[in-house]
Amino acid sequence: MSKVVNPPTVVVQSDADLLAKATAARIVTRLVDAQALRGTASVVLTGGGIGIAVLSELAKAPARDAIDWRRVDVWWGDERFLPAGDPERNETQARAALLDHVPVPAERVHVMPAPGGPDGDDPEAGARRYAEELRAAAGGGADAPPFDVCLLGVGPDAHVASLFPELPAMYETERTVVAVHGSPKPPPVRVSLTLPAIRGSREVWLLAAGESKADAVHLALGKAGPVQVPAAGARGRSRTLFLLDHAAASALPPGLYVPGH
Ligand SMILES: O=C(O)[C@H](O)[C@@H](O)[C@H](O)[C@H](O)COP(=O)(O)O
């Protein structure tokens, strides 16, 4: 079967606040539609400012209860390898922003490893265990489920999840989850989905707000390769959205998107 990847769609909001609200609304529709089609829905969460702001807006959105939270699987695109409960963990922030406020069953919240857990202090062992969890959820011999939506923040260096330019994880073609050492964004040790796992998603949504992201967004929509520009390699099987605010879209050539209000 030939693999056709649709070109990304760019959607621009006036500022970060509206971007977070509009993305939250979009998540409601996406997960409700997935449940109507397949019974369950799956979402991959991201850390970072805009990613957590989206979760806070989702918690506040009156329509959030249109989602049957008992049938949602929650995964992470990356995690900072810090002890459970650490305020800098993406998990801790996602729980405070959303997961503590909606009835997702604990067994459907697929937390990435933390030091001091079943893997000791070994992020590689944790990555292997998370990969097993993905394989078990996917069933049928697949390596990872086709996530309904994979949310990814974008860094100023065009990183997504904990996939940083030129680091060994960018060369991964087999594994779905890897440990990352030497992350330029603190903390240095992280666990991350790889591009092969991300690309198995039905939809990938890249979120960026602020002028510091403008060049990264420009490169990610150009012809750059994913080793240098990880965001250029993050694409969904059926759809890829770049959800931006005006500042993050400011380096894009005219004509790439329809200017909003
Ligand atoms: O653990 C993390 O920090 C991330 O998951 C990371 O990939 C983040 O999404 C980007 O760095 C964007 O973060 P900001 O929105 O805060 O710039």
Task: Decide if 132 contacts 148 (C-beta within 8 A).
Answer: no
- pTM for this prediction: 0.97
Cα 159 to Cα 91, 101, 154, distances in angstroms: 19, 30, 6
The DSSP element (H or E) to which 9 belongs, if any, is strand 9-13
pLDDT, tens digit (0-9, with 9 covering 90-100), for 66-96? 999 999 999 999 999 999 999 999 999 999 9
Atom of ligand 1 nearest to the CA of 208: 15
260 belongs to a structural domain = no
* Burial class of residue 68 (count of CB atoms within 10 Å of its CB; 0-12, 13-18, 19+): middle
Tell the residue nearest (CA) to atom 5 of ligand 1: 47
| Predicted local confidence at residue 257, as pLDDT | 78
Length of the chain as a residue count: 261
Nearest CA owner, ligand 1 atom 14: 48
Note down pLDDT in tens along the chain; length 261 residues: 445 568 999 999 999 999 999 999 999 999 999 999 999 999 999 999 999 999 999 999 989 999 999 999 999 999 999 999 999 999 999 999 999 999 999 999 999 999 998 999 999 999 999 999 999 999 999 999 999 999 999 999 999 999 999 999 999 999 999 999 999 999 999 999 999 999 999 999 999 999 999 999 999 999 999 999 999 999 999 999 999 999 999 999 887 877 766
Please report the pLDDT score of residue 258 as a whole number.
Answer: 74
Let me know if residue 1 belongs to a domain.
no
- The beta-strand segments (E) located in 91-193 are 149-153, 177-180, 190-193
How far is C-alpha 234 from the geometric centre of its chain's CA atoms? 10
Residue 200 covered by a domain: yes
Cα 232 to Cα 6, 154, 205, 218, 243, distances in angstroms: 13, 10, 12, 10, 14
Tell me the CA–centroid distance for residue 150 and ligand 1, in Å: 14
Taking the CA of residue 50 as reference, the ligand 1 atom at the shortest distance is 15
Q: Is residue 101 part of a domain?
A: yes
Pocket test for ligand 1, best of 78, 163, 189 (most atoms within 8 A of CB): 78
CA 174 – CA 118 distance, rounded (Å): 24
Closest Cα partner for 58 from 209, 241, 66?
66
Residue 255 lies in a domain: no
Q: Report the CATH number at residue 195.
A: 3.40.50.1360
Q: Tell me the residue range of the domain where 142 lies.
A: 9-245
C-alpha span between 171 and 185 (Å, rounded) = 19
The per-residue pLDDT for 1 is: 43
List, in sequence order, the alpha helices (H) in the chain. 16-38, 49-60, 90-97, 123-138, 195-199, 214-220
What total number of domains does the chain contain?
1
Residues with CB under 6 A from ligand 1: 46-51, 78, 80, 90, 153-155, 159-161, 185
Q: Is residue 131 part of a domain?
A: yes
128 occurs within a structural domain: yes
* 261 in any annotated domain: no
